[in-house]
Amino acid sequence: MKPDMIIAHELIGLEVRVEKSANRYLEGIEGKVVDETKNMIVIEGRNGLKKVSKKGNTFLFNFNNHRVRVSGDLINFRPEDRIKRVLQILRRGRR
Amino acid sequence: MRRNKNLERRIADERIILLMKLAEKEAISNPERARRYVTMARRIAMKYRRKMPSEYRRRFCKKCFSFFTTSNCRIRIRRGIKSILCLNCGWRRRIPYRR
Question: What's the ipTM?
Answer: 0.89
Domains contained in chain A, CATH given: 3-92 (2.30.30.210)
pLDDT at B21: 96
Kindly report the nearest CA distance between residue B32 and chain A, in angstroms: 11
**pLDDT, tens digit, for every residue of B41-51?**
999 999 999 99
Using a CB–CB cut-off of 8 Å, the residues of B that contact A are: 1, 3-4, 7-8, 11-12, 14-15, 18-19, 22, 33, 36-37, 40, 43-44, 47-48
Which of these, B73, B72, B75, B77, lies nearest to B96 by C-alpha position?
Answer: B77
A 14-43 residues with CB below 8 A of B?
34-35
Phi then psi for residue B44, to 5 deg, are -60, -45
- Domain span at B66: 5-96
The pTM for the full model equals 0.91
CB contact at 8 A, B75 and B87:
no
| Residue A95 pLDDT | 47
pLDDT tens by residue, chain B, 99 residues: 778 899 999 999 999 999 999 999 999 999 999 999 999 999 999 999 999 999 999 999 999 999 999 999 999 999 999 999 999 999 999 999 997
CB A44 within 8 A of CB A81: no
Give the residue from B13, B24, B29, B40 with the most A CB atoms within 10 Å of its CB, the best one to mutate.
B40
Bridge partner list, B67: B60
Name chain B contacts of A34, Cβ cutoff 8 Å.
33
The partner residue sitting opposite B8, judged by closest CB among A12, A79, A87, is A87
Using CA atoms, how far residue A88 sits from A11, A84, B1, B14, in Å, is: 18, 6, 9, 19
Is the pLDDT at A4 greater than 80, yes or no? Answer: no
Say how many Å lie between the first and final Cα of chain B, rounded. 53
Identity at A60, one-letter amino acid code: L
Distance CA A27, CA A52 (A): 10
Per-residue pLDDT tens over the stretch A41-66: 999 999 899 999 999 999 999 988 88
Measure the CA–CA gap between B16 and B12, rounded to whole angstroms.
Answer: 6
| Domains of chain B: total | 1
- Measured CA to CA in angstroms, residue B37 lies from A53, A95, B16, B44 at distances of 20, 28, 9, 11
